[in-house]
Homo-oligomer: A and B are copies of this chain.
Amino acid sequence: MSRILVDGHGGDDAPGIVIDALDRIHKEYGDKLTLGIVGQPDVLQPALQEAGLSDAVQLVAASEIVDMCEPPANALRRKKDSSIHVGARMVRDGEWDALVSAGNTGALMAISKFILKTLPGVDRPAIASMIPSEGGRTLLLDAGANVDSSSEHLTQFAIMGSCYMQAAEGLESPRVGVLNIGSEDIKGTDVVKMAGASISELDLNYIGNVEGTDLFLDTVDVVVCDGFVGNVALKTMEGVAHFLMGNLKRELTGSLMAKTGMLLAYSGMQRLKARINPSEYNGAPLLGLNGIVVKSHGSADALGFSRAIEIAHREVESQLGTRIVESMNKWLER
């Protein structure tokens, strides 16, 4: 049985949507999950009570809150009683199995890394982000935790991403690719070339270089890249989607005839919206930590936050950490 602790603060609409997500998860999973919320009791206690969750969700006290724009180093050093600090310590001490937070990403990573440390063989934990694709979903890592990653780091990301897709998504042999600017081996920076050579020697289903267009096709399951590149790709993706859907909406509501047409096509449009709904893809695991931490998007709704809780649950159940350590050992013993 997984014991999941969620951060009651952080994110655009905390604690409201956090409580709603807990309610949703409690209704679906009942006693199969032990749920907790960490944060300021005077804020969280009444909210839990109002939602009728006082019995279902344990309250863990933490007096401080990390601001969304606070420098990570500041949050790490000066806010030792923040909900993130307290949550990470309890995961380290085995009191809870996982922490889920919609708070400041940099601070969450810095504090988690400081308190939980990394798994043996992992130099830098990575943030892994899920993307909708023709094949279902593609995992992109690193999504922004590490700039200037070396080829060794990218190799570690490949191992962790592959383990994750096996453990949490049930893929037997995830296709792993390195994000590059062409499919040929001679393309790209020295770092990606060396990473490709190194990953190809591992016991992974390595398919070589992939390009930005491949992210959405059924050609690859795990895409490895430097955090700067991954973050730009993810935000570009978000930008295009907003731009296209915004323009579509304007065009389809611009005239009575278009509006009527849109009503007739309503169910199709709804299916498309559901398919690309960011909530469905919410929850970015911080891979490589010696403990389970999942980041929920700051603007995620209750459905999105509940998806992040489910990801934490799957990580616990599938013993992802053990799998990563085994794969890392195989690599290091080569």
Contact flags A229-270 to B (C-beta < 8 A → 1, else 0) = 101111111111111110110011011011011111111110
Chain B residues positioned under 8 Å from A234 (CB to CB)? 212
Bound-complex Cα distance A233 to B251 (A): 26
Total number of A residues with any Cβ neighbor in B under 8 Å: 63
Give A78 Cβ to nearest chain B Cβ, in Å. 17
- Is there a chain B Cβ closer than 8 Å to A214's Cβ? yes
Chain B residues positioned under 8 Å from A231 (CB to CB)? 181, 212
Chain B residues positioned under 8 Å from A215 (CB to CB)? 236, 239
Q: Is the interface of A mostly helix, strand, loop or mixed?
A: helix
Bound-complex Cα distance A213 to B215 (A): 17
> Which of A114-122, A271-279, A303-311 is near enough to bind chain B?
A271-279
- The one of B134, B189, B238, B265 in contact with A213, judged by C-beta atoms closer than 8 angstroms, is B238
Contact flags A202-246 to B (C-beta < 8 A → 1, else 0) = 000000000111111100000001011101111111111111110
Contact flags A297-328 to B (C-beta < 8 A → 1, else 0) = 00000000000000000000000000000000
Please state if A214 and B227 are interface contacts (CB–CB under 8 Å).
no
Please give the residue numbers on chain A whose beta carbons come within 8 Å of chain B beta carbons, in ascending order: 69, 71, 132-134, 144, 147-148, 179, 181, 184, 186, 188-190, 211-217, 225, 227-229, 231-245, 247-248, 251-252, 254-255, 257-258, 260-269, 271-272, 275-276
